[in-house]
Amino acid sequence: MLGAFLAESEPVYIVGGAVRDHLLGVSAIPGWSRSTPDGHPHDADGTNSPPPIPASTTDLDLVLSGPVLSLARRVADSLGWAYYPLDEKRDVARLIGKDVGGQRIECDAAALRGDLRSDLLARDFTSNALALRLKADSPPQLIDECGSIADVASHTLRRISERSLRDDPIRLLRAVRLAAQLGFSIESGTRKQISELAGTVSGVSAERLRQEMWKLLDCSRPEDGVRELDALGLLTPLLPEVKALQGVEQSSRHHLDAYEHSLLATHYAAELRNWLRGGPKPGDSSLAQSLEPWTEGLRRHFREEIAAGHDRAGWLVWHALLHDTGKANISGVNNGSGGGPQTYARHQELSAEIAGSRVASFRFSRRETLLAESVARMHSVPRRLVKTLTEDENRIGPRAAYRFFREAGSVVAGHQFVRGLGSGGAQQPLDGLDVTLQAISDLQATGLERGDGWGRFLEAVEGLFCYAFSRPAEHLAAPLVDGHRLMEYLGLAPGPIVGTILGKLAEAQASGTVANVGEALTLAEELLAADAEQRGTGA
């Protein structure tokens, strides 16, 4: 791809993150050694060919002499890549394609803003102000105009100038995201100015905020990123619902206030997210052992992208962060008389409303908004199901599991929210799995000691996994008997009793109590007779 650009215009400059990441050692540009004494590259393989894209780079920024749009279109056509005029006024184009290994590559090509020095000094942070100059007949040349190499070496995130942050408030949030992502420390002057300008982030477009917030919460320790937002005054304009949880007391089973509890749940959700993406097992051995039999099915489910680049696994962190936000906006009830910890009846509904509103405010898709609402609304249900089990019951049974997944619904294509199994067949996504893993993170963050109740909970919710992954397909398929057949067979007119009987038949089908049409109709007769007897009319 770089060769195609060089064939059209040279020099071409790779700028920003790709060069920084090479210096950090997280990507490699063959033909350029980091070990030269003066920090400048040399031609390691003795050839004059341009270096290929760094192996780990999927987002590449190039600058070159304009006009760029027509040039980028020619390059895209020659490569068979997609082309988008990203910013016609500023002469910026985006190309999307795949490298020889099949890895997706996004390349933004922009016209130089004046000369290269001016272009680099107009950027945000010194670590992003590096350039690699490429020419077909000479080795790559590293260009550092503002001490970038030293800051990268010391893992310091530093503004280029005071104007850097004032010119574009998204850079306030980006500073936190980059520091979390790269393990950098934000330089003191930069921190001070971020705090001073924190309120201006509210004026940034929702789409740009969404991109940075997703990346921040997708870091290895998202709870640290949230704490840094708070320390710099950015939490209030970005996530006021989370800020409002500070100091909100909870019931006696909790050992933390609602804010600290939510951050701890976020930590455990990130552990699950990493495992679902192929990373290490969760640190709790009991949990790891409990999840092991369902690894393949869970990873398949959570790999699904609800929207481009946003998988279900990544959303677990958002669910954990937002699941209790309703507690700051609802009156608590003291346990017993007098003061003491609070309980918050029906906070789930308010949390669902708040979570959905916040996700929508970042312009996430309708599907993502609905999923956030569903998980927040139902996050306490798995725990309640476990409490209803008798001493002789170890797992949540198939009938209860059916009701649970039916209530959780499914996010499906076409921005449609489906409540009830059967409308999408056996392949319909089961959002109850998202609820269940959120409930696990929630309970992990509750109480100093988990005790025997933790093991019982894990064993019980295996019934939900068993139902989702092991039930025969017909239990998730269309009902054995529909409303028309039922009314015709029983001689009923449309009315509430029809819906009641259909619901109970669906539960019986889901639990395996009925397996064919004949058994379903027999049960329907029994249900109708029982209803008539209860009403005192006789069967």
CATH (domain of 209): 1.10.110.30
What are the distances in angstroms from CA 458 to CA 291, 383, 384, 455?
A: 9, 10, 13, 5
Of 475, 497, 514, the domain-final residue: 475
Helix H, strand E, coil C: the string for 31-54 is CECCCCCCCCCCECCCCCCCCCCC
With beta carbons less than 8 A apart as the criterion, state whether 91 and 69 touch.
yes
Could you tell me which residues come within 8 angstroms of residue 126 by beta carbon, excluding any fewer than 6 positions away? Answer: 146, 147, 148, 151, 156, 158, 159, 160
Interstrand relation of 59-64 and 104-111 (parallel, antiparallel or unpaired): parallel
Q: Residue 31 belongs to what domain range?
A: 2-150
DSSP letter for 154, please. T
Q: Does any domain span residue 247?
A: no
Same domain membership, residue 169 and residue 130: no
Same domain membership, residue 404 and residue 302: yes
Same domain membership, residue 110 and residue 42: yes
Q: Does any domain span residue 250?
A: no
SS3 109: strand
Model pLDDT, residue 492: 86
Q: How many CB atoms lie within 10 A of CB 13?
A: 24
Mean pLDDT of the region 250-263: 86
Mean pLDDT of the region 288-314: 92
| Mean pLDDT for all residues in the chain | 85
Share of the chain above pLDDT 70, in %: 84
Same domain membership, residue 398 and residue 304: yes
Of 435, 455, 475, the domain-final residue: 475
With beta carbons less than 8 A apart as the criterion, state whether 386 and 461 touch.
yes
Mean pLDDT of the region 461-474: 77
Mean pLDDT of the region 61-75: 92
Q: Does any domain span residue 48?
A: yes
Reported as a single tens digit per residue, the pLDDT across 317-356 is: 999 999 999 998 775 544 444 444 455 557 889 999 999 9
Considering the entire predicted model, what is its pTM?
0.80
Q: Does any domain span residue 302?
A: yes
Same domain membership, residue 277 and residue 332: yes
With beta carbons less than 8 A apart as the criterion, state whether 180 and 216 touch.
yes
Same domain membership, residue 374 and residue 449: yes
Interstrand relation of 416-418 and 410-412 (parallel, antiparallel or unpaired): antiparallel
Q: How many CB atoms lie within 10 A of CB 468?
A: 20
What is the C-alpha separation between 74 and 71, in angstroms, rounded?
A: 5
Mean pLDDT of the region 415-429: 43
Q: What are phi and psi of 506, to 5 degrees?
A: -65, -40
Residue 279's closest CA among 271, 267, 288, 287?
A: 271
CATH (domain of 115): 3.30.460.10
Q: How many CB atoms lie within 10 A of CB 391?
A: 5
Same domain membership, residue 214 and residue 125: no
Q: Does any domain span residue 245?
A: no
Q: What angle do CA 54, 56, 59 make, to 5 degrees?
A: 80
Model pLDDT, residue 30: 43
Same domain membership, residue 284 and residue 211: no
Residue 485 CA neighbour count, 13 Å, CB half: 12
Given a cut of 50, is residue 259 above it in pLDDT? Answer: yes
What is the C-alpha separation between 88 and 68, in angstroms, rounded?
A: 9
Reported as a single tens digit per residue, the pLDDT across 108-133 is: 999 988 889 998 999 999 999 999 99
What is the C-alpha separation between 54 and 19, in angstroms, rounded?
A: 9
* Domain total in the chain: 4
Same domain membership, residue 524 and residue 435: no
Two tokens, residue 103:
């890895």
SS3 415: coil
SS3 408: helix
Same domain membership, residue 397 and residue 276: yes
Model pLDDT, residue 252: 67
Reported as a single tens digit per residue, the pLDDT across 311-327 is: 999 999 999 999 999 99
Q: What angle do CA 433, 438, 442 make, to 5 degrees?
A: 150
Q: Cis bond leading into 341, ω under 30°?
A: no
Q: Where are the alpha helices (DSSP H) in 362-450?
A: 366-378, 381-387, 398-408, 432-444
Q: Does any domain span residue 246?
A: no
Same domain membership, residue 383 and residue 295: yes
With beta carbons less than 8 A apart as the criterion, state whether 386 and 456 touch.
yes
What is the C-alpha separation between 458 and 162, in angstroms, rounded?
A: 52
Q: Does any domain span residue 242?
A: no
Of 231, 250, 279, the domain-final residue: 231
Q: Does any domain span residue 248?
A: no
Write the single-letter amino acid at 400: A
Same domain membership, residue 67 and residue 198: no
- Burial class, 341, CB count within 10 angstroms (exposed 0-12 / middle 13-18 / buried 19+): middle
Mean pLDDT of the region 449-460: 88
Interstrand relation of 310-311 and 333-334 (parallel, antiparallel or unpaired): unpaired
